[in-house]
Amino acid sequence: MANPELDLNPVGFLDKDPGKKGKKIFGFKVLGNLSDLPELADSNDIAGIIVSIKQVETDELKKLNQLCTQKGLFLKRFGLSVSDFNS
């Protein structure tokens, strides 16, 4: 998941499901949920957040953007799409 070309090196995940906290996804620990972000940003060397879920509520994105702005973190959205080659 690390990408030297984009200068990205994930440290973990945030997830809405509290049951996932502490579990690993793709070898990275679920560190908590969105409300844990301020503390996590202070206790880890985090430069930013990448949203990787397809559907996120507008209110959640606004809250996340506010938190990132307050902490000086970047906020990006990861997307993947597949299209017909002949289109």
pLDDT one-digit tens code per residue, 8-31: 788 888 888 899 999 998 898 999
Please, what is the Cα angle at 10 between 5 and 11, to 5 degrees?
150
Closest CA to 36 of 57, 25, 22: 22
Indicate the range of 3-7, 37-41, 48-52 predicted with least confidence: 3-7
Give 46's contacts (C-beta < 8 A, 6+ positions apart): 11, 40, 73
**DSSP, residue by residue, 45-66:** T--EEEE--S---HHHHHHHHH
Q: What is the pTM of this model?
A: 0.70
Please, what is the Cα angle at 23 between 58 and 49, to 5 degrees?
35
Query: What DSSP character marks residue 16?
Result: S
